[in-house]
Amino acid sequence: MASHFRNVTFNQQDASIVDNKVVTAHYTAANFVPKNLMEQFSKAANLYFLFLSGLQVTPKVTTTGGIPTIGAPLFLIVTLNAAKDALEDWRRHKSDREENERKCLCVTGSGASAKLEEKNWSDLRVGSMVVVRNNEYVPADMVIVTTAHEQGHAYIETANLDGETNLKTKQAPKAAFDLLKGTGADKAAAVAKCCSIDWKCECELPNEFLYTFAGNVTAKGSAGEEKIPLDEQHILLRGCKVKNVQWALGSVVYTGKETKILMNSKEKVGRKVSHLESTLNKIVLIIFLFQSVLCLIGGLSAAMFETDKNNFSKMYLPLTDAEGNALYSFIVVLLIRYFNFMILFSNFIPISLLVSMSIAKVIQIFFFYADKDMIYKGINCMPRTSDLNDELGQIEYVFSDKTGTLTQNVMDFRKFCVDGVSYGQGVTEIKRQVMFRKGLPVTEPPPPPPDAKKTSNVDLVDPVLDELLKNKSGGQYEKVKDFFFHLAVNHEVVPEVDDNGAMSGYSASSPDEAALCYGANHHGWKFLGKDTTGMTVETIDGSKIKVQVLAQIKFTSARKKSSVIVQYTQDGKEYLKLLTKGADSAIISRLEAQYLNSPETKQSMETLKEFAEDGLRTLCLASRQLTRSEVDDWLQKWNVASLATENRQDKMDEVSDLLEVNLTMDGITGIEDRLQDEVGETIIKMVEAGIKVWMLTGDKTETAINIGIATGLLEAEAGSKGERPEFSTPDFEDAEGKFKPTDMTNKLKTVAAEARQTFTKGDMFEGMVMDGKCLEIALQPENEKDFVAICKVCRTVICCRVTPKQKGAVVRLIKAEEKAITLAIGDGANDCNMIMSADVGIGIRGLEGLQAFNVCDYGISQFRFLQYLLLVHGRWCYRRVAILCNYMFYKNFVVVLPQYFLGLVSGFSGQKLYHDALYQSYNVFFTFLPIMVFGVIDQDVSKRVSLLYPELYKAGLQGLYWNVKVSAGWIASGIWHAMCCFFVPYIVMANGNITHSDGKANDIWGMGFVILTLVCIVTNVVVLMETYYWHKLVTLGMGLTIFAYLSGNAMITGVMFMMSSNLYGTMFRMLFCPMIMAVILVGTLCAVMVDIHIKGLQCCYFPSIMHKVQEKVIEKKI
C-alpha cells in the first residue's frame, strides 16, 4: 500500500524522486515535425484539404493535371502554424534554460567536511541542503532550519506565487533554531553545526495547496532526539524571494514539477471557444453536406449523359472505346465525376476562414491594450486570449465579486463599538449613495481640526473618543483600552522599516489586518515588532509591554476566526488571556451566556447591524482570562495535534474549539472599503444594455443589500419595480437557532411557482437576495430548477456569505440551464473558481494579488473598464467577426457556383472555368485584405456613441449579426451574385457570340476571366457596403487588392504564359474591349442593386436601434 507521507533525510539527496529541472516546452528537436503535423492534421479542416490534395493527384479524378494546387495554400497555413508553434516553444525552451541554470549555494559533504558550493537549480534533489541569500529566489520548496536573523525569521516576497509584494514572515521551528544557536550570522558555522545533527523529516506528499503544509522533523544530536512539528510557517516555496535577512538555511522537500508553484501552474483543461466559433463548425458541416449534394447531382447527371447510348454517336466526345462500347460503367463515371466536382467545389469551405478570423482577432486585442480609457496607474487592459473577443459582445450574465472588484480594497478603520457604545462619526460613501438614491438628505459632520493626528488607513473622527482617551479614566476607558490592545496583539502584521531603521508602516497579507493595526496605532497602542517569544506593544502612556505569545491559532476559511494565547504584565499585574477575532457568526455563538444576553451585548449586535447597513466590513473581538493549569493542559493537546501528520488541521481545529468558549465581547470593528470610481454608472449602463448583473460576495446580507442599492443593482425601496424575495438563514431558524432546510425549500418552491407565473405574463422581479446557507439548499439537484426559475425573472441576484465553490457552482448552473453566455469578474483567489467556470473570465489586477489575474481571459485594473470592454470593444468585435465569417462563406459561394452553372450548360463534364493559379489566389490575394481591414477596425458608431446608447449592445444578445436567418441571407445573396456574375457574361459571350471587333469568338478561358473579374469586383464592393468607418487603411487595402488582381493576371496571362498557353493575352484582350467592360458594369449593377435596395428598405421601414442612432449622428444631434 502506498505511503501517504514523504520521508526526507536532510543532506542526503534522494535520486528516486523527480529532479528539480523544469520543462514547460511542448516539443523537442527530435519530435517537433511529427508531433506538430499530427496535431495539425487532427483538425477536420486540415484533413479535408489534405484529402482534396490527394484527389488532385489521382488520375482520372484530377481536374488540375495531377498538380495539387490546394497543396500550396495548405502548406502555407500548416507552415505558418508550425512556425508560430516553434517560436512559442523556443521561448519556452529559453525560459526553461534560464530557470534551470540559475545558481544557488548548496551544501556538499557531511559533518565537519561539509562546505558550500554553487550549483544549478536543476542539480538539486529532495534532501539537498541549500542556503538562500538576501534578494535571492528560493530554488525549490524547502524547510527552514535556521536563518541569520536573531530570532530565526525569514522575510519573503511572494509576488511570483500570488502577486502580493508585501513581505510575509517565515521562521525556523523554534526547537530547530535553538539547536543551532551560537553560530550567529556565520553561515559556514551554521552549516557545519547543522550537518553534525541527523535530521529525519516526515511530511505530506506533494500537493497544490500554497498555504498549507504539515510534517515533522526528528533531530538527533549529542543532546538526544527531539521531534519538532512543521507547518506552513516553516517552509519556503519555490519562486519566493528572501528579503531583509542575510541568509536562510534549509532542506529541499519538493522539487521540480512537484513544487507547489508548478503544481498550480498546470494548464487549464481544454480551450475556451466562443459560441460563434462553435456554431461555425456546424455551418461548415451544413455547407459540406450542401457541397456533397451538388457533387452528387453533378455526378449523376454526368453518368447518365456519358452512359446514354444516344450520345455515343457524338464523335467529338470520347465516350466509347474502339468497339463502340461505353468507356466506363455508370458507377465508375458517377464516382469519377463526383470527385471531379468535389475538387472544383473545394472552395465552398474557405481554407482561409479560421486563419483570417484568428489573425483579425489577434490584431483586435492590440486595440484593447492600447485603449487609453482602460489604463489605470500605468496598467493597461491585458488580453490573455484573442479567442473570445466576439464573445464579449454577447454577454448575458455578469457575475461580480464585491471586495476589490466593486470596491477599492483599500481599507480604512472607520468605526468601532465597545460595550454597546459606538465610536466614529460621519456617513460612509456607500451609505451616502444609498441615502441619495432614497432621496434622503445627507448631513456631513464638521471636518477634524487642522492639527488632528493623521494616520494611513484610518478615517475615524469622534470628539467623544478623543476626550475619553485624553482623560484616561473610567470603566469605559478600560474597556476601550482592552479593545485597542487586542487590535495591537492579535494579528500577523509585519512592521516595515526604512533605510534609517525607523518603522515606516505595516505590511500584511490582508488589508483588513493592516487597517486594524493602524487603527490601534492611531489611538495610542503601537505594535513595534515580533520575535520568537512574542511581540512588543507601546501603550498610550508611552510604556512598552512585552507580550509573550504562547500559542497562535490561525485564521482559516472554515473557522472564520483567529486566536492567540498571550501572557504579559501591565501595571504590575500578570495577565494570561485568550484573544479571539473573527466573523460575527463565529464569535457570537461562543460568548458566555450571561454576556450574550446582556443589554450591552444586545446593543452591540444592533450596532453591528448598523455597521453592515453602512457597508462596513465588520469583525467581532472577544477574550477570556485563562488559568495556568488550563493553558498547560490545552498546550499538551495542541502539541499532540500539531505533530500529527494525517488530518492535522482537523485535529487542531478540534483542540482549538475546546479553548474558544465562554468568551467576553471586547468590541466590534467597522472597516470601510470605498466603491471604485464609476461603479454605479457602469452597472446601470450594462443593465440598460440588457445584461443581468449579479453580485456574489462573502459579506453579510445587510452589507450586500446596501452595496446593491449604492451601485444601482437594487432599487432604494424594495418592491418598487417588482418583487424582491429574500432568503436569509435567520428566517428559517427555530427558537433554538437551528436551521430548518424544509422551510427554506418550501419557500423556494412557493416563490418559484410565482416566478413562473410572472414569466408567463412577461413581467420581472426586481431581484433576489440569498445567503450562502440558503444557496446551499437551492443548489441541490432537486431544487436547481426552482432556483433557476426565480433567477430567470430577476433583474439581478445578490448572493451573500458564499464560498468560492458556491460562486463557481452558480455560474455553471446558469450556463447549463439557461444556455446563456456568462462573464465572471473578480480580483482574488476566492474568485478563480467562477472566473474559470464562466464563458469569459475577467481578472482585476488589484491588491489581493494576481491569482484571479493569472487565470483570467482578460485582465483590467478597474471595474468601470468593463463598460469599454463590453459595450465598445466587445460589441465592435462581435459585429466584425460575425460579418467576417458570413462574408467568407458568401464570397466562396460567389466564386464556386459559376462552375456549377457551367456544368448545367455543359453536361456536367467536369470542365474547369478558372485557371488553377487564379482560382487559388482568390482567397489569398484577391479578396483577403478588404475584409481583414474591416474585421480589425470597422466601427458602426464611435466609442462615445456606443457608451451613450448602451441599447446598441442588444444586437449581440439577440444575435442580429450571427443567426440562421442572417447566414441564410448571406448565402442567398451569394447565390444571386453568382448568377449575375455567370449568366450576364455567358449570355453575351457564349454560343459563338462576337464581342470583339476582330470577329474572333470567345473561348471558355476568356469568359472565365471575365466571370472571375466580376466576382472579385462584386465581393469587394459588398465589403465596402458593410463598412461604416472609412479609414485610410480601407483605401490602402482596396488599392492593394486591385493591384494584386491586375498584376497577378498580367503575369499569368502575359509574362508567365507558359503556365497556360490558353490564357496568353486574355487579360488585355478582355479589358480593352468596350463590350466586355459594359458586361462587367452591368453584371456588377445587377448584383449589388438588390443589396442596396434591401438595405434602403430596411433603414426606411424597419430601422433598428443602430439605424436610428446613426441617423442622429449624421444629423449631428449627438
> And the C-alpha cell for 18?
523527480
Please report the beta strands in 539-639, taking only residues with DSSP state E, as ranges in sequence order.
544-553, 561-570, 573-582, 616-625
> CB–CB of 920/947 below 8 Å?
no
What is the rounded distance in angstroms from the CA atom of residue 680 to the CA atom of residue 37? 51
Element (H, E) at 674: strand 664-675
**Going by C-beta distance under 8 Å and a sequence separation of 6 or more, which residues neighbour residue 1035?**
none
Q: What is the full DSSP assignment across 383-422?
A: ES-STTTGGGGS--EEEE-STTTTEEEEEEEEEEEETTEE
Pair type for strands 503-507 and 797-800: unpaired
Grid cell digits, residue 830:
476566492
Rounded Cα distance between 909 and 580, Å, is: 90
C-alpha cell at 415: 468605526
Amino acid identity of residue 356, one-letter, is S
What residues are paired with 230 via a beta bridge?
Answer: 215
Rounded Cα distance between 839 and 278, Å, is 12
CA distances from 866 to 166, 238, 368, 571, 843 (A): 28, 35, 12, 56, 11
Cα 677 to Cα 189, 206, 376, 379, 925: the distances in Å are 56, 43, 11, 16, 48
3-state secondary structure at position 192: helix
CB neighbour burial string for 448-478, b if at least 16 within 10 angstroms, e if fewer: beeeeeeeebbbbbbeebbebbeeeeeeebe
C-alpha cell read off for 175: 526547537
DSSP readout, 147-170?
A: ESSTT-EEEEE-HHHHS--SEEEE
What residues are paired with 538 via a beta bridge?
Answer: 526, 544
Tell me which long-range contacts 760-765 makes (C-beta under 8 A, separation of at least 24): 763/722, 763/793, 764/721, 764/722, 764/793, 764/794, 764/795, 765/722, 765/723, 765/724, 765/725, 765/790, 765/793, 765/794, 765/795
State the CB neighbour count (10 A cutoff) for residue 1022: 24
3 state DSSP class of 726: strand
CA dist 371 and 873 (Å) reads: 10
**What are 7's strand-pairing partners?**
202
> What is the number of other CB atoms lying within 10 angstroms of the CB of residue 420?
18
Instruction: Kindly state the cell numbers that stand for 518.
Output: 493602524
Element (H, E) at 276: helix 275-306
Residue 575, SS3 per DSSP: strand
Burial annotation 736-774 (CB, 10 A radius, 16+ → b, else e): eeeeeeeebbebbeebbebbeebeeeeebbbbbbbbbbb
- What's the N-to-C CA distance of the chain in angstroms? 75
Q: One-letter amino acid identity for 272?
A: K
Q: Concatenated DSSP letters for 606-632?
A: HHHHHHHHTTEEEEEEEEEE--HHHHH
Give dist(CA 101, CA 430) in Å, integer. Answer: 52
Q: Catalytic site residues? A: 401
Best CA proximity match to 698, nearest among 585, 603, 783, 822: 585
